Amino acid sequence: MTSFSHAFRVMWRPKFRSMNQLLFFNLIAVVITMLYQIWQLGLANLEMITTVMGWGAVFGFVAFILLTRQNEQMLVSDTYRLLPTGDTKLYLANLVTSLVALVYVGVVQVVLVLIGTAMTGKTIRNWFQTNVNFQMNAADLRNLALYGTTTVFWAVAIVLWIWVFVNLIHFGTNTISAFLPNVQQRIVKGVLAVILTWVAIRFMSWIAHLESQVYNHFTTVSDITLNASGIWLDLLSLFVAIAVVAALNIFMMKRWVEAKY
Amino acid sequence: MTNALEITQLNYRKNTKTILTDVNLQIAPGKIVGLLGENGAGKTTLMRLIAGVAKNAKGTIAVHGETREAPRRAFVSFSEALQGFRPADKLSQIRDFYALAYPDFSAKKYLDLITFLQIDDDQKLSTLSKGTREKFIIALTLSREAAVYLLDEPFNGIDSMSRKRIISSIIQWKQDSATMVISDHYVSEIAALLDEVVIIKDHTVCAHKSSDQIRSEFGLGIEAFYESIYEGDIHDDEL
Amino acid sequence: MQFDDKVPIYYQIKNYLYHRMVAGELGLGDKLPAVRQLAVDLTVNVNTVQRALREMIAEGYIAPQRGRGNFVTQDAAKIATLKQQLTTTYIQDLYGQLHALKLTDAEIIAEIKAYIQHRGDADD
């Protein structure tokens, strides 16, 4: 029987490959934009950071969508369900590889920004000065680091939450169809769709709210008082929710959810 | 001696429909067994249950004495339809997946098999004809050194040359101790290959006989035996 | 080789090997192909070939040598007896069928002679 690290490697490879394909197009987009800028503004005024971040946001989103899809498909294809791994390990390896693949895309973006900074050291300072209040002392820097970490944790939690939630919808309807005859199935699925839409809308507005909060903290970093405990508590409860939903998904996977064939 | 496969009182329903009822089956190690039945009789489902990918069945399935799902999968090599791969994937990438995923995958056996079956693994999955795709699936399935092989309709809709090559590769590369179950609804071309025949009808195993028993006791060919069971010429009490 | 699906395959494999021995294609003391090779050549299951060989070993037509494979018996008398048995079987069969057609014994012998004569002419 295979270990978690083994399952991880098996599931990692296709995701890594598709992320690399995506990053290849990302790089092409960046290079073409830069060439266009050089042609328009001249080499002296070349500013890489906006380009990289702009395309980074676009391709980061595409990466997220692709991984959401792959995350779903792997769990319902015989190719992966036949692996001599327990369903728990398989589910977790799938989730973790998706996350690592997304982080990988993020890290590449950061590296690109760093390259951009190295090319034009002045620009990054200008960028920060225009976009962020840059009069920081040591305490502010610590706050900035703290909020940076919080933001990363939040991002991870939100991504994981979306993935386990999509799994939940999928597995839930799958499980229901295993038990109910067609007519009742349709009714239950209809009701479920309404509830889930409502939950999804609430979740989106909550994230929007959260995002503006975090952004406010970030841009006015010098004059905030560090009242982060509320955010950390929310974060903790979100992680607990993720764990519960994941456990539920694994349970359904063990008992009812089969691959499509 | 532990049976390669031992199924006891297996019941399975899907979407509130009965697929299999009270299936009992014992298969000794080393046998090649034909799993026969109409389309939709439950052959694929039975294989998927043995392979541990169909869920929520009642009863027990033991492969070499192992009843737990995940360790059981390690013993079983199932001819999976490559549904987890993308059309643009190269065959060699799929081989890499198998080599990584299954500790019992033999690179040498794989090479021997694709050479014998005349498959160029530098191609993309999407360019394969139905026959080549099926041959490739067989090559991957047999490349594992598993205790039980499950081949789900490997001869469905492929030309006779490919069929002959697949049959020869089965004879040549199945280890003596390994058990193989081949499902089909058209049996004459593999009749000479089968040690035993299992016939599925009315959601259950209605006959399990050795090929020689069928030939000497009933004086029938396997195909004729199968047909007469389906047409009701042989009754349950005669089996 | 084509098999009759109504007759046990191991039995047909034995017959096939008997014929080859009697015809001298497999001579006294000759090594038989490996079991798996025979199975591939005949497109049959390895287990079936093994069963056929096991029975032929028990009957004394094949002598296994540890680690070296299977060999045709060195006993010429045994093969001669086998040849006689096969001949008798075929003649019984032929005689039975011609007899059923109400041919007399003299007619049967005449027909066989005529056939051989005709065949000989055709060959020339």
For B47-91, write each residue's pLDDT tens digit.
999 999 998 899 999 999 999 988 999 999 999 999 899 999 999
Q: SS3 of B86, please?
A: coil
Using a CB–CB cutoff of 8 Å, tell me whether B222 touches chain C.
Answer: yes
- CB of B172 within 8 A of CB of B11? no
The alpha-carbon gap from A26 to the nearest alpha carbon of chain B, in Å, equals 20
- In DSSP terms, which residues pair with B151 in a beta bridge? B182
Q: Which of B167, B192, B220 has the CB atom closest to C6's CB atom? A: B220
Alpha-carbon distance of A152 to A155, in angstroms, equals 5
Q: Inter-chain contact A178–B15, Cβ cutoff 8 Å?
A: yes
Alpha-carbon distance of C124 to C121, in angstroms, equals 5
Give the chain B residue whose CA is nearest to the CA of A182. B15
Q: Report the pLDDT averaged over residues A106-125.
A: 76
Residue B101 has pLDDT above 80, yes or no: yes
Least confident of A194-208, A233-247, B109-123: A194-208
- Domain span holding position B103: 5-238
Average pLDDT, chain C: 90
Work out whether the CA dihedral B217, B218, B219, B220 comes out positive or negative.
negative
Q: Inter-chain contact A1–B71, Cβ cutoff 8 Å?
A: yes
Q: Report the pLDDT averaged over residues C96-114.
A: 92
How far CA C69 is from CA of A5, A15, C30, C32, C58, in Å, comes to 46, 52, 11, 7, 15
Q: What's the pLDDT score for residue B107?
A: 95
Using a CB–CB cutoff of 8 Å, tell me whether B220 touches chain C.
Answer: yes
For A85-106, write each residue's pLDDT tens digit.
889 999 999 999 999 999 999 9
pLDDT interval class at B169 (50, 70, 90): very high
The alpha-carbon gap from B44 to the nearest alpha carbon of chain A, in Å, equals 10
Q: What's the pLDDT score for residue C123?
A: 55
Q: Which of C6, C39, C42 has the CB atom closest to B215's CB atom? A: C6
| Number of domains present in the structure of chain B | 1
Tokens of A17: 């490959």
Work out whether the CA dihedral A90, A93, A99, A102 comes out positive or negative.
negative
Q: What's the pLDDT score for residue C12?
A: 93
For B195-225, write each residue's pLDDT tens digit.
999 999 989 999 999 998 898 888 888 888 9
Residues 180-239 of A with CB under 8 A from B: 180-181
Q: What are phi and psi of B19, to 5 degrees?
A: -105, -45
pLDDT interval class at A176 (50, 70, 90): confident
DSSP state of C65: E
Q: SS3 of B162, please?
A: helix
First to last CA, chain C: 30
- CB of B39 within 8 A of CB of C55? no
For A140-172, write each residue's pLDDT tens digit.
667 677 777 878 888 899 899 999 988 998 898
Q: What's the pLDDT score for residue B29?
A: 94
**Chain B residues within an 8 Å CB radius of A181:** 16
Q: What's the pLDDT score for residue B34?
A: 94
**Chain C residues within an 8 Å CB radius of B194:** 45
CATH number at residue B151: 3.40.50.300
Residue B178 has pLDDT above 60, yes or no: yes
Tokens of A190: 């209809």
Using a CB–CB cutoff of 8 Å, tell me whether C71 touches chain B.
Answer: no
Tokens of A177: 């169809």
- In DSSP terms, which residues pair with B200 in a beta bridge? B205
Average pLDDT, chain B: 90
Q: What's the pLDDT score for residue C38?
A: 93
**Chain B residues within an 8 Å CB radius of C10:** 212
- CB of B128 within 8 A of CB of B162? no
pLDDT interval class at A18 (50, 70, 90): very high
Residue that wins the pLDDT comparison between A123 and A56? A56
Q: What's the pLDDT score for residue A122?
A: 63
The alpha-carbon gap from B125 to the nearest alpha carbon of chain A, in Å, equals 15
- CB of A153 within 8 A of CB of A235? yes
Contacts of A185 (CB under 8 A, 6+ apart): A176, A177
Q: What's the pLDDT score for residue C100?
A: 93
Contacts of B97 (CB under 8 A, 6+ apart): A10, A13, A14, A79, B85
Interface test with B, best of A20, A22, A78 (most B CBs within 10 A): A78
Using a CB–CB cutoff of 8 Å, tell me whether A176 touches chain B.
Answer: no
- β-pairing, B58-63 vs B5-14, is antiparallel
Residue that wins the pLDDT comparison between A229 and B227? B227
Interface A:C, ≥3 CB–CB pairs < 8 Å: no
Q: Report the pLDDT averaged over residues A198-204.
A: 83
Q: Report the pLDDT averaged over residues B150-160.
A: 88
What is the complex's ipTM, to 2 decimals? 0.90
Q: What's the pLDDT score for residue A127?
A: 62
Tokens of A40: 């328009």
pLDDT interval class at A217 (50, 70, 90): low
Q: What's the pLDDT score for residue A228?
A: 53
- CB of A88 within 8 A of CB of A250? yes
Q: Report the pLDDT averaged over residues C59-75.
A: 91
Q: Inter-chain contact B192–C7, Cβ cutoff 8 Å?
A: no
Alpha-carbon distance of A54 to B179, in angstroms, equals 58
A13 burial type by CB count under 10 A (0-12 exposed, 13-18 middle, 19+ buried): middle
Alpha-carbon Rg for chain A in angstroms: 22
